[in-house]
A and B are shown apart, each in its own frame.
Chain A
Amino acid sequence: MADQGSAGSVPDFSFVASGPGRSHADAPEQEGPASVPPGNPSVTALWEQFPDGVLRNRVCAGDEDVVYIDPGRVTEILGWLHEMPDQHYDHLADVTAVDYGGGRPIEVVYQLWSIPHRAALRVKCELSLDGLEIDSVTGIWVGADWLEREVYDLFGVTFRGHPDLRRILMPDNYAEGHPLRKDFPLRGRFSRAEQTRRALTQDPEDYYMPGEIGERTPQLVGSGADGGHEVVGSGPGAGGEEDDDGL
């Protein structure tokens, strides 16, 4: 950074974080509808409409409303937010997940924006590590298709009812797990030698066969450290009948 020219300013050290034992600083969290801040009318409306579906809400980074909801009712609540004319969150900006590590639940984060009302809302669902399943919202926003595939690919969260749940950024036969999980080492689960060996022994036709629109399940190369993953086929397509190896 450029020099400040702040001669003689006494630095203040009180801000320096104190080592690895940092506590997860508790932001003000509301555990009931009584103390909902008046900021976002959607939050109040959610509390009224779904008193048992909304778990808690908080305000982050000054002005961002975050609502934690019951993962089992995600399509119901998000569909309500999408359909109701006074909510009308028609733009699903983002679907992502956060893994905090240490066995804590993985959060699936929906970032909503209402184009007519110019309002933002962040909806979170917490999924425990032994039940990483949630309903897909592709029926509400088609744009969630690839975003959910990415969460599935990188975090291993299964979206029930997704029309085409396959890996999207990693190869179909990637056997090392889900890379954005905190327990996934930066360089992958296999050694470099093993990764190279697998790359060399891969059948290029796994990627270049013309029949992949049809019912073709990519082969897993070996068994992964986490037992690999299920590859969900893309369903019978019009090109399935010509899945001949001749090309």
Chain B
Amino acid sequence: MASSTVEYAVGRNPEMGPAGTPVPSPLEPFDAPEPELGSQTMLVNVGPQHPATHGVLRLVVELDGETVVSVVPRLGYLHSSFEKLGEYRTWNQIVTLTDRMDYLAPLIYNCAYVMAVEKLMGIEVTDRCRVARVICMEMDRIFSHLLWLGTWSIDVGAFTPFLYAFQQREKVYKLHEALTGARITTSATRIGGMMADLPEGWTKGVREFADNLPATLDEVDTLLTCNAIHIGRTQGIGAISAEDAVNHGLTGANLRASGVPYDVRKDRPYYDYENYDFEVPIGCHGDCYDRYLVRMEEMRQSVRILHQALDHLPGGPMDVEDPRVSLPSKTDCMSDMESMIHHFKLITEGIPAPAEDCWFSVEGSKGELGMYVVGDGGPKPVRWRIRPPSFVNLSAIPKLSEGHLMADLIMINASLDIVLGEIDR
């Protein structure tokens, strides 16, 4: 090992002259240039395992002091190649893959996927199923926004709203469990209908949740919306203009906070969303605070949709009567030979889809969630593509955070509302 010597200047006061007489310290003239201090930037590795990254996101941040010079996100830590796996599964088997991607709003993914496949196959689901799926999707929009609210408040330094939000989320977990038997991996939909009809008393539980949620939102409102610390941490942070937001492909609340009223539910309505009475909140500054306000208001609007959907939930069958996709009843299978063969063939061969491609997008909780399915006439997809909203939203983070402080980067990341399961897929 190489050795080095270090000389310590001890025994002599540098402010004393050689003879021990005091030496006046030199005064720098006022017009002297600033001393060159920050010539080097520092690289800080944020993540992949840190609570503030909301998953296994890794950000390589170049810092000049505390100011962010550049951000390079590194992805792929949660890559599960769902799209490749889907090519080896029949259309109905893929449903279980969809909720693993966005585990914060699994029912939206379940519904969006089967809606795309149903459009490809030309299947019209029943009225009851349409309304039931609207209830599921709006409930999960609140479910996802509540998690965003909790983690957002933790990131800003407030702990109480986190507890309030998760108290309400627990109720949605219970509703998931009553509907499907699972709390997160719901897999509730099938092509042409749902896994099962809504259980007894389930709508009452949804109604109760929708009734109680606004009180919680009001409480969080009083804690955060006018809170000086919260405002100081979020206003003017990570702002993006409407034009840039569109060009970057931002969707969902991140786009609407910049003042672009693009909501798939309004612009390309599906499942009779044009008949529901709700408003699309938009911001005007495009900063973190506006994204907060937009998401808070979206939850209230989703409560309105939930009430209307519950009021108009029709009776009748949940699953479509289409021999291509619907299984015969168990009684028929046990008594009728044709039904049994039909059942056997549907299960073993799968459902054929035409050799076409189909794009279907819904307004997910994170943004525009697109499903692109390509069939070849067989029971398995040639290609199954998810347009991941948080993936595209996250790609704007270098632009949003450059020039801000390191602490602001955490808020910007929280304001984008990402879920890594969907980004990495």
Contact = CB atoms under 8 A, between A and B. Distances in A.
A17 interface: yes
A238 B321 CA distance: 63
A129 interface: no
Interface in A77-121: 90-94, 96, 98-101, 109, 111, 115, 118, 120
B377 A17 contact: yes
A23 B331 CA distance: 36
Given A1-B192, A9-B328, A142 B43 contact: no
A166 to B, nearest CB: 10
Nearest to A64: B359
Interface string B320-354: 01011011111110001011011001000100101
Contact of A169 (B79, B377, B385): B79
Contact of A94 (B195, B247, B379, B387): B387
Given A16-B352, A179-B84, A93 B368 contact: yes
A96 B359 CA distance: 12
Interface string A168-192: 1111000000011000101000000
Contacts of A171: 76
B113 to A, nearest CB: 15
A109 B372 contact: yes
A1 to B, nearest CB: 5
B193 interface: yes
Nearest to B350: A17
Contacts of B410: none
B359 A17 contact: no
B193 A2 contact: yes
B189 to A, nearest CB: 10
Interface of A: 1-13, 15-17, 20, 22-25, 27, 60-62, 64, 66, 90-94, 96, 98-101, 109, 111, 115, 118, 120, 122, 141-147, 150, 154, 167-171, 179-180, 184, 186, 207-208, 210-213, 234, 237-239, 242
B321 A6 contact: yes
A93 B88 contact: no
B179 interface: no
Interface in B347-371: 349, 352, 354-359, 361, 368, 370
B62 A115 contact: no
A199 B358 CA distance: 38
Contacts of B79: 169-170
B43 A210 contact: yes
A115 B282 CA distance: 15
Nearest to A186: B88
Given A17-B379, A62-B119, A145-B395, A9 B45 contact: no
Nearest to B88: A186
Per DSSP, chain A at the interface is loop
Interface of B: 40-41, 43, 45, 60, 62, 69-70, 72, 74-76, 79, 81, 83-85, 88, 119-120, 122, 190, 192-197, 244, 246-251, 260, 262, 267-268, 317-319, 321, 323-324, 326-332, 336, 338-339, 341-342, 345, 349, 352, 354-359, 361, 368, 370, 372, 374, 376-379, 382-383, 385, 387, 391-392, 394-396, 399, 424-425
A238 B246 contact: no
Contacts of A96: 372, 383, 385, 387
B249 A141 contact: yes
B372 A62 contact: no
Given A4-B321, A4-B329, A22 B249 contact: no
Contact of A1 (B69, B251, B326): B326
B267 A10 contact: no
A179 B425 CA distance: 13
Contacts of A20: 378
A6 B343 CA distance: 13
A115 B262 contact: yes
B267 A118 contact: yes
A5 B329 contact: yes
A208 B47 CA distance: 11
A170 to B, nearest CB: 6
A154 to B, nearest CB: 8
Contact of A17 (B81, B249, B327, B378): B378
B154 to A, nearest CB: 26
Given A93-B387, A98-B374, A115-B246, A16 B355 contact: no
B366 to A, nearest CB: 14
A12 B377 contact: no
Contacts of A184: 84
B122 A62 contact: yes
A219 to B, nearest CB: 16
A61 B357 contact: yes
A100 B378 contact: no
A147 B361 CA distance: 17
Nearest to B383: A98
Contact of B262 (A91, A141, A146, A179): A91
Contacts of A234: 72
Q: Which residue, A4, A5, A170, has most C-beta atoms of chain B within 10 A?
A: A4
